[in-house]
Amino acid sequence: MGEALQEFVKLAQGIAPTFDSQTVFSIGSWNISQYTLYMFIILALVLIMVLVGARKLQLVPHSKGTAILEYLYGFIGESVGRDVIGEGYKKHIPFLATLFFFILTANVIGLIPGAKAATGTMSVTWALSLIAFIYFIFYGFKTLGLFGYIKSICPSAVPGPMKPVIWVLETFSLILRLLTLAVRLYGNMLSGHMILGVFSIATTVFFQYTFLAMGGFATGLVGVIWFALLLFMYALETLVAFLQAYVFTILTSSYIGMAVHPH
């Protein structure tokens, strides 16, 4: 059992570099990493899913895929759009649904053994956050006007002498939204997949020493425990895959609501 434990520690210490961005192939001077490749795969999958689902729209869907797609779109429209943004929410639903489906698909694909989650790298989550940031800032300007939106950053109830201070703090908080959106999604997805990787290594090593090196009953029992933990973590990460897509989308919806309906 001691040898199995040493081998596990050795392999687990080398798991972090496997999540680094690596060039898969190049197009001229443009290096395509595994995360960029998965991003385009996810884009194609989401596009196909939406086009196929929209082509078979029915009053009562007979296809399970179409029914799930319609349910999720309705969920984003009602729970994320209407309940959070309020008046004028409908025009924002296509954008919010696109974010949700892209992130959810990326997270789920990352659960496939050997695959990578595009949301497990900062470059992708930064891009998503920047798109969301530009979107709600744009609609803030469009709805309130340039000076009206800048003025709305500071709550109207703040006393006059405090307005400059609160405006600076609120502006800083506004910029921080870009960072928090990116880091929250990246951190949760990367850490979850690293844990799955560690549990997978532990399960493989202890089972190998049990069946190939005759590691004994204790080694096999530990392998079974690691396998049970791996299954539990897979179930948990499946839930996290949905929750992180939901959290990113509902926070973006909240920021849109604050931009177009300032208090």
What pLDDT, on a 0 to 100 scale, did the predictor assign at position 247?
Answer: 93
183-235 pLDDT tens trace: 999 988 888 888 888 888 888 877 776 666 555 666 667 778 878 888 898 89
93-150 pLDDT tens trace: 999 999 999 999 999 998 888 788 888 888 889 999 999 999 999 998 888 888 888 8
CA distance 152 to 162: 14
Q: Burial level of 49, CB count in 10 A (0-12/13-18/19+)?
A: middle
Give the DSSP per-residue string, 29-95: TEEEEHHHHHHHHHHHHHHHHHHHHHHT--SS--SHHHHHHHHHHHHIIIIIIIHHH-TTGGGGHHH
Give the DSSP per-residue string, 99-155: HHHHHHHHHHHTTSTT---GGGSHHHHHHHHHHHHHHHHHHHHHHH-HHHHHHHTS-
Q: What token pair was written down for 58?
A: 């029915």
What pLDDT, on a 0 to 100 scale, did the predictor assign at position 174?
Answer: 83
What pLDDT, on a 0 to 100 scale, did the predictor assign at position 214?
Answer: 59
What pLDDT, on a 0 to 100 scale, did the predictor assign at position 100?
Answer: 93
- How, if at all, do strands 23-27 and 30-33 pair? antiparallel
Q: What token pair was written down for 238?
A: 């499946």
- Please check the confidence at residue 38 and state whether its pLDDT lies above 80: yes
Q: Are 21 and 39 in contact (CB under 8 A)?
A: no
CA distance 58 to 62: 8
Most confident stretch, 6-10, 62-66, 203-207: 203-207
Average pLDDT, the chain: 82
Distance of CA 171 to the CA centre of its chain: 25
